[in-house]
Amino acid sequence: MAAVAARRKDEWLALFTPDAVVEDPVGPSRLDPAGQGHRGHEGIGRFWDRNFGSVSRFEFRIRDSFANGPCCANIAAITMWLAGGATITVDCVVIYTVDGDERITSIRALWEPERAMSTLTRP
């Protein structure tokens, strides 16, 4: 979260294993029409460029967290400031899985795009 909030793409990508998968959101959506996730550093990097490139600021609020073994599930609200000052908030459950070296092997974010769009504010 710190690398995302600071908009440090390379630092964020370095947290992932070479074969990691990001599903954000899980399932088919405008962000991933096939619902297969974004794979490897190249795919995850493209995901960053398409979805985080226009975000000027992030605020992460973790409401609760449940960790066991290599997995952690966070109940969160993520507010993003977009170009021109608009904001959008995504209420979500994000499940992280790590390997033995504590590098991320998968992120599965469960959220509803229509619900997030209903929070869109204009300056």
Its pTM stands at 0.93
Taking the C-alpha atoms of residue 107 and residue 20, their distance in angstroms, rounded to an integer, is 8
For residue 23, what pLDDT band results from cuts at 50, 70 and 90? very high
Q: Is the peptide bond before 25 cis (omega within 30 degrees of 0)?
A: yes
For residue 83, what pLDDT band results from cuts at 50, 70 and 90? confident
Q: Which pair of tokens denotes residue 57?
A: 């600021």
CB 47 within 8 A of CB 25: no
pLDDT tens digits for range 3-18: 999 999 999 999 999 9
Question: Using CB atoms within 10 A of its CB, is residue 63 exposed (0-12), middle (13-18) or buried (19+)?
Answer: exposed
Chain-centre distance for alpha carbon 13:
12
Q: What pLDDT score was predicted for residue 53?
A: 85
Taking the C-alpha atoms of residue 34 and residue 21, their distance in angstroms, rounded to an integer, is 14
